[in-house]
Structure 1
């Protein structure tokens, strides 16, 4: 078993407008809860801004120091976060055009049927909102004794009801997946140019950590849409390594959680993105662990992100397709409730569990053993 004294962790968040403060607080709270399960008393230091696009905090547990770096692109997310009905409707039209009314729709259906069903959910919500708001405003307006005021009063009431419906939709995360679909389509078609510079910035930081011999292990861990960002960032980082021997002994680890990579990789124009994935799939020195749960409706469960888009993996290379087996990590009554909370289910990868098992986010990021050793111990 390989013990780790110093580890460098990079975390890439998903399509979430919340920044480093939210994820630092989440990690601190959940690590404290997980200590009752894994016995790791992780001391989570205060968050410090490292650069304009990264924040860092120290993790100390059982003699192991992990430097946790939050790679931030939430500012880009906020610029593409549809707010009003006009932008939400635009996202819906983009989803229909790029994912439903296209020959690629069959690829998505076969890859993850729940994905398209989840994408259609906002459309049903919007239709129901308009029908109910229209019916309620018309019924109320016709009750006014002044006929000339009925039409403008109905419009005002309709607008108010639709505003309330949008507020409810945001609370229920109805439009969250819709925004992801629209953003992914724009990215695949080269319409998010600001993301390229950010990816190159991330790649430089990752490469510097790999080149630093003091780091016994370098872990890049990405969640949800962050797994898409991780593909080119990791591929470019590997190109910047001074000595390929620094990848030996599974020192560099890529962990992708709840990936939805086909939302970009299946697009015809995403050839450069697929080339980056092919490069990762032909790097056997890289330990790539891909965790997806069949109960997570926002991911592509147990689908190889490299081969599914037509690329190949070299022998003993590419992602190891794994399931966190959430049903073994939570007590049955609690798990039954979690399965009904689809939004929470997608974030379980980052949260504390009730019981020990094959997956432990906090042991991966702060534990005293190298991740390769942890895998052997857990199987």
Structure 2
């Protein structure tokens, strides 16, 4: 694999790239991604000996930035845009305490009743622990609140039984409200909303999300004829399975004449959490379709150190929809334990949410994955990973109980 493109890229005309970043289930303003790119890109450039300059965006789009990369003797111009669906995420999180506990019951049943939970457990323990965490944590909060409310009710009930009931119920509600206010430290409500959003239609996309995906597809299509050498779609976490469907729809429509090279990088994907559900036929069909075509190079990067992702699980194969002639994705490990120094790994090891974003960050002992060379370097994704073999420890065992493609 070419790591910096020095030999091939020297003397080439300036390489122009358009990058569309699709975030996961994240309610935070996209400026977070701009600042993350600025900081981490600067750090990686110092470590790896190249230069990245970031400026305000120069193309149309709701939110993005412009990057000039000087890597391996070549200059690359990249326009990066965040495809925003944070407003949909925020709306889906606007549930009260009772509504969240109702979500808990429905989501648990969606995975347990369908058998998906038990099949997912056979893939990776990390993401299943992450999925069970909000259920266990919310139930523990409820149990503690009820226990304290019962105790207070007994004490006050010695004086006046009716007041005892009222005092007990008031304490239960007050404690549950306090737990919800403190959720920015434990993320139990946030994760519950995340899993509930995917499970609410048993794997089918909600209508508002399908509408937004159509807008994303139109933006990507328009960029293909704007003079760029490569249009790169990056899907992170839940954004990976959105990108699979967006790109599949785009290819089915037919690419415009003279289209730029189109590439897809999936990072920290959680595709099986959706594709294993009964009504995820649309996603399963898109996985099968995208894996067999050759118009879009698809590289899937995960790491066993990321407990929130289905690390090294080929999303097509484990879903059981790999067609004859399957070409993609190329499954690659970011190998956190090797690409981060022992000191840095010790610092990050138990920061699970931070590690889930490490794919977008600097590595102090980089190997063959470098987000900033991929997005601001002189080689397209296909050329960069040409000749790269898939990770030997990838998982391809088909485990989904649902294989319908529509």
Tell me the TM-score normalized by structure 1. Answer: 0.89
How far is the alpha carbon of 1:21 from its aligned partner? 1.7
- Specify the SS of the correspondent of 1:211: coil
Q: Determine the structure 2 residue equivalent to 1:359.
A: 369
Any conservation in 1 of the 2:135–2:192 contact (CA below 8 Å)?
no
1:301 pairs with one of 292, 299, 311 = 311
Deviates more, 1:154-163 or 1:16-25: 154-163
Secondary structure in 2 matching 1:7? strand
Q: 1:170, CA displacement in angstroms?
A: 3.5
Q: Name the residue aligned to 2:230.
A: 217
**Residue deviations 1:112-142, cap 9 Å, x none?**
2333332222222122222333334454566
2:213 maps to which residue? Answer: 199
1:288-332 deviation digits (Å, cap 9, x = unpaired): 100111122221111111122221245462101111011122221
Matches of 2:316 and 2:326, distance apart in 1: 14
Shift in alpha-carbon separation, 1:181–1:48, aligned structure 2, 3 A: farther
State whether residues 288 and 318 of structure 1, in contact with CA within 8 Å, keep that contact through their aligned partners in structure 2. yes
Instruction: Name the CA shift for 1:209/1:240 in 2 (closer, same or farther; >3 Å).
Output: farther
Structure 1 runs of 4+ aligned residues shifted over 6 Å read: none
Question: Tell me, what secondary structure is at the counterpart of 2:105?
Answer: helix
C-alpha distance in 2, partners of 1:189/1:357? Answer: 35
Q: Which residue of structure 1 lines up, in the alignment, with residue 85 of structure 2?
A: 73
How much does 1:177 deviate?
3.0
CA–CA separation in structure 2 for the residues paired with 1:80 and 1:217: 34
Which residue in the other structure is 1:12 paired with?
Answer: 22
Q: Structure 1: how far apart are the matches of 2:201 and 2:60?
A: 27
| Partner residue in 2 for 1:285 | 295
**2: CA distance between counterparts of 1:173 and 1:142?**
32
Q: Number of matched residues? A: 373
Identify the range of structure 1 (341-350 vs 263-272) with the bigger mean alpha-carbon deviation.
263-272
> How many angstroms apart in 1 are the aligned matches of 2:257 and 2:310?
31
Cα offsets for 1:207-256 (capped at 9, x unmatched): 222234x2111111110000111011111222344457747xxx321000
Aligned equivalent of 2:64: 56
CA gap of 1:46–1:263, structure 2 versus 1, over 3 A, is: same
Q: Which has the higher helix share?
A: 1
Q: TM-score, normalised by structure 2?
A: 0.83
Distance 1:234 1:294 in 2: 27
Asked whether the 8 Å contact 1:210–1:241 carries over to 2, the reply is no
Question: CA–CA distance in 2 between the matches of 1:208 and 1:346?
Answer: 31
From 97, 104, 107, the counterpart of 1:85: 97
User: Which residue of structure 1 lines up, in the alignment, with residue 351 of structure 2?
Assistant: 341
CA RMSD of aligned residues (A): 2.6
TM-superposed CA distance for 1:193, in Å, is: 0.5
Q: Distance in 1 between matches of 2:268 and 2:80?
A: 20
Structure 2 residues without counterparts, runs of 5 or longer? 1-7, 390-406
Q: How far does residue 42 in structure 1 lie from its aligned partner after superposition?
A: 1.7
Partner of 2:46: 36
Structure 1 residues 91 and 47: alpha-carbon distance in aligned structure 2, compared to 1, 3 A threshold: farther
* Residue matched to 1:321: 331
Are residues 1:227 and 2:215 paired?
no
Which of 230, 244, 264 aligns to 2:274? It is 264
Whole-angstrom CA distance in 2 between matches of 1:275 and 1:378: 27
Please state if 1:125 is matched with 2:137. yes
Answer whether contact 2:265 2:298 (CA < 8 A) is retained.
yes
Deviation at 1:152, TM superposition (A): 2.7
CA distance in 1 between counterparts of 2:262 and 2:323 reads 18
| CA apart distance, 1:12 | 0.3
Q: State the match for 1:174 in structure 2.
A: 188
Distance 2:381 2:172 in 1: 55
